[in-house]
Structure 1
Amino acid sequence: MRGSEEIVWPGGEHAFRLGIGELRAIEQKCDAGCAVVLMRLLSSAWKIDDVIAPLRLGLIGAGMSERDAQRAVDAALDVSSPYALAVPAADVLQRFIMGNSADKPGGDQSGES
């Protein structure tokens, strides 16, 4: 699995990472597959755990303690709405289940090796 990525979100700038364990935990917490959770986030048909779980577990997956991750999510909820947090939650989830263009076969198409 990929390493962590720095993401700016209403809670600040933090490293996030969703490994297989965190992805499975999201599925259990949200009672749906990660792709279903992502689609609910993108279509504004999410449940509150669809928003919170990718953020909290992404912080934990990148090395933050469970307590500090919960505090970071709670602090973000104090200054932002769950609706506003749905976008970064979708971003975190999408990065780790879909990857990015550099991860696709053929790699960098710029012609450089």
Structure 2
Amino acid sequence: MSRDASITIPWGDGDFKFRLGWGELEELQEKTDAGPYVVLQRLHAGTWRVQDISNVIRMGLIGGGMAPDQAVKKVRYYVEQRPPMENVPHAIAVLSAGLMGAPDESLGKPRAPKRKTGKRSTTSRTGKSDLAPSTGPAQP
């Protein structure tokens, strides 16, 4: 998920970007005759309508950048010809991202990875040396 309300998830025949911006949420509201949060509650509670599922996914694909005619084809094939429960988790993920964004993103500077020093400990937990004893003269 990202702060622009988009989410990329595996669905159908690949990984797709879904986004429900303000315009898509307004159209979803018109198509489902319910506010977006009501639709989300219905999806969670199991009181959804089949149009809730198909419209969330279709509008999410369009908002994610897919052409409307392609989004309709994908929904007809991967939603309307499949058991509804198969797509409920996807619809929940898409609508949740559209309504809440992604609070887990870091807003600060990325942390630099810890550098390895390349030094090796010469003693183990038992206090004995990890290095094999030298059997010959020291090499310069």
TM-score range, shorter chain: 0.7 to 0.9
Q: Paired residue for 1:81?
A: 83
With over 3 angstroms needed to count, the CA separation of the structure-2 counterparts of 1:10 and 1:81, relative to structure 1, is farther
Match of 2:7 among 5, 8, 15: 5
* 1:38–1:90 contact (8 Å) kept in structure 2: yes
Q: What is the TM-score with the length of structure 2 in the denominator?
A: 0.68
- The residue aligned with 1:91 is 93
CA RMSD in angstroms, aligned pairs only: 2.4
Runs of 4+ in 1 over 4 A off after TM superposition: none
Distance verdict in 2 for CA 1:83–1:62, change over 3 Å: same
Q: Identity of aligned pairs, percent?
A: 34
SS in 1 for 2:10: strand
Q: Provide structure 1 residue ranges, at least 5 long, that are not aligned to the other structure.
A: none
Cα offset for 1:70? 0.6
TM-score for both structures, normalised by structure 1:
0.83
Moved more, 2-11 or 38-47: 2-11
Give the structure with the higher percent helix: 1
Output the amino acid matched with 1:71.
K
- 2:6/2:98 contact within 8 Å kept: no
Q: Can you list the C-alpha shifts for 1:22-62, whole angstroms capped at 9, x where unaligned?
A: 00111111111100000101111101111011100111011
Matched, 1:44 2:46: yes
Change over 3 Å in CA distance of 1:3–1:93 after alignment to 2: closer
CA contact (8 A) 1:11 1:75 kept: no
Assess, with a 3 A threshold, how the Cα gap between structure 1 residues 3 and 36 changes in structure 2: closer, same or farther: closer
Distance 2:80 2:34 in 1: 27
Q: How many residues align?
A: 109
